[in-house]
Amino acid sequence: MVDRKHYSDISIDYFSKSYADKKPLIIEGLIDNWEFKTYKLETLDENFGEKDIIIRKSEGKDINKPYQIKMSKYIQMIEKGNKDKWYCDWPYYSMGNKEISLLYNVPAYFSEKTINHGYKIDDKFKWIFIGSKGTGTHLHQDFKQTHNWHGIIFGCKEWLLISPDHYNEIKKEGIEISDELLADAYYKNLIQKTLLQPGEILYTPRNWWHSVKNLENTFSISENFWYESEIS
Ligand SMILES: O=C(O)CCC(=O)C(=O)O
Ligand SMILES: [Fe+2]
């Protein structure tokens, strides 16, 4: 079970001591003042329809092959059922759309210090995810030991989280982790499965493995970061 708390019940100090770099936490109530909060697919289309975004297939051999497409075209694909499971994971900062970051606030629990380790802030730290039922992301760790927060604006997402400790146990047995294995009862006590709902933000500590399945049409924002103490 992933812990879940309303932001009014968790001080920055308590978060830092109990969760930061330790274990995942779902925080409720943080997106109420976001301009994005009331967005629907239609609002995305109205405001960003002409933008070039990145999409890729959620399954099959082309899974990691990015395509550039207009947001309005992709939204049409979703509205028509999106049977090929195209998924938008768009590093919007790197494509010159910095104004998007004005439509939400980085929660105070996560200090944003991403201009070190040889990266510029506009590389791949800020993401928009738009998908339909059945789209998602296979098991991975985020790049270069970054922490992650992921905030849901609409739609429900199923997350599987595996602590880096448990992953090593599995690797020692020489078994590749596939989606089938993830579902296997034998491993269930190694996996924390949780449903993320609109209005919730999930904190994933660095090195935690995670995979995501979208259970309906969904729109979310995600950022990667290091804590100041981790930057040399
Ligand atoms: O929502 C997804 O499909 C993946 C999200 C993710 O892996 C992340 O934000 O780090
Ligand atoms: Fe991730």
Boundaries of every domain in the chain: 3-230
Q: How far is the CA of 182 from the centre of ligand 1 (A)?
A: 17
Residues with CB under 6 A from ligand 1: 129, 136-137, 142, 148, 150, 157, 210, 212, 222
Q: What CATH code would you report for 3-230? A: 2.60.120.650
Exposed (0-12), middle (13-18) or buried (19+): which is 83, by Cβ within 10 Å?
A: exposed
Question: What are the structure tokens assigned to 76, written together?
Answer: 């049409």
Closest atom of ligand 1 relative to the 142 alpha carbon:
10
Q: Quick one: which of 212, 204, 113 has its CA closest to 163?
A: 204
pLDDT of residue 165: 86
Per-residue pLDDT of the chain (232 residues; tens, 9 = 90+): 899 999 999 999 999 999 999 999 999 999 999 999 999 999 999 999 999 999 999 988 888 899 999 999 999 999 999 999 999 999 999 888 999 999 999 999 997 777 778 888 777 899 999 999 999 998 889 998 999 999 999 999 999 898 998 877 766 666 666 767 777 756 667 888 899 999 999 999 999 999 899 999 999 999 999 998 888 6
**Distant-in-sequence, close-in-space partners of 58: CB < 8 Å, separation ≥ 6:** 85, 86, 87, 131, 134, 135, 136, 137
Q: How far is the CA of 210 from the centre of ligand 2 (A)?
A: 6
pLDDT of residue 115: 79
CA 198 from chain center: how many Å? 13
Q: Give me the torsion for CA of 28, 30, 33, 35, rounded to 10°.
A: -90
Enclosing H/E stretch for 158: strand 157-162
**Distant-in-sequence, close-in-space partners of 197: CB < 8 Å, separation ≥ 6:** 152, 156
Of 210, 214, 216, 224, the residue with max ligand 1 atoms within 8 A of its CB, to mutate for a pocket test, comes to: 210
pLDDT of residue 229: 83
Q: Distance of CA 127 to CAs 94, 100, 170, 174, Å?
A: 9, 10, 30, 33
Q: Distance of CA 182 to CAs 144, 157, 175, Å?
A: 24, 16, 11
